[in-house]
Amino acid sequence: MAFTVSIKLNREIELAAPFDEAFALLSDVPRSVSHFPKVDRLVDLGDNTYRWEMEKIGVDKYSIQTAYACRYHADKDAGKVTWLPVEGEGNGVVDGSWTLTAVDDQTTRARFQTVAELSLPLPGLLKMAISPVVKHEFNSLVDTYMNNLKKAF
């Protein structure tokens, strides 16, 4: 038995980097993901498509590993990097985008939006207890990612 946890996040950060540098980092998926915590493996599936395999969390029979794949598209003129889910890859469906705007010659505002549907292979009775923990963990990972990106510049 499994249940699904839905997560929607919006973040905005300012990066101490010119637009071109910020876009170069965020549109380079492996380079950008290198700043995301607790990624066990990023698998290149070709055609700018990657499968994220996160580190396992939990204990014994209640440990889970989140995995999902996305196809990425970068449009520098629009200042957008988008990702769409690839069906049938892992236990998650994730989509989202980065929207970048130059604040001045040395600063770029980056808006991050994502929606995730994570299917957890746990008894339904645990949903009320586990869902808030999963959402908190996801928020924490994204917050750390944002801080790591700020430090990269």
Phi-psi region of 43 (alpha: psi -120 to 50; beta: other; left: phi over 0): beta
Residue 49 pLDDT: 98
Domain ranges, ordered by start, for the chain: 3-152
Stated pTM of the model: 0.91
Render pLDDT for 96-105 as a digit per residue (tens, 0 to 9). Answer: 999 999 999 9
Q: Answer whether residue 13 shows pLDDT above 80.
A: yes
Q: Are 82 and 96 in contact (CB under 8 A)?
A: yes
CATH fold, domain 3-152, is: Alpha-D-Glucose-1,6-Bisphosphate; Chain A, domain 4 (3.30.530)
Say yes or no to pLDDT of 126 above 80.
no
d(C-alpha 143, C-alpha 145), whole Å: 5
And the tokens for 11? 């973040």
Residue 1, CA distances (Å) to 21, 61, 62, 93 in order: 46, 13, 12, 18
Q: Which strands sit side by side in the sheet containing 3-15, from one edge to the other?
A: 3-15, 107-120, 92-104, 80-90, 67-75, 49-54, 39-46
At which residue do the structure tokens 């994502």 appear?
114
- 3-state DSSP assignment of residue 127: helix
Which pLDDT tens digit goes with each residue over 39-83?
Answer: 999 999 999 999 999 998 766 666 778 999 999 999 999 999 999
Looking at every residue in the chain, the average pLDDT score rounds to: 93
* pLDDT value of residue 61: 65
* Span 15-34, pLDDT tens digits: 999 999 999 999 999 999 99
Distance (Å, rounded) from C-alpha 38 to C-alpha 67? 12
DSSP SS3 for 37 = coil
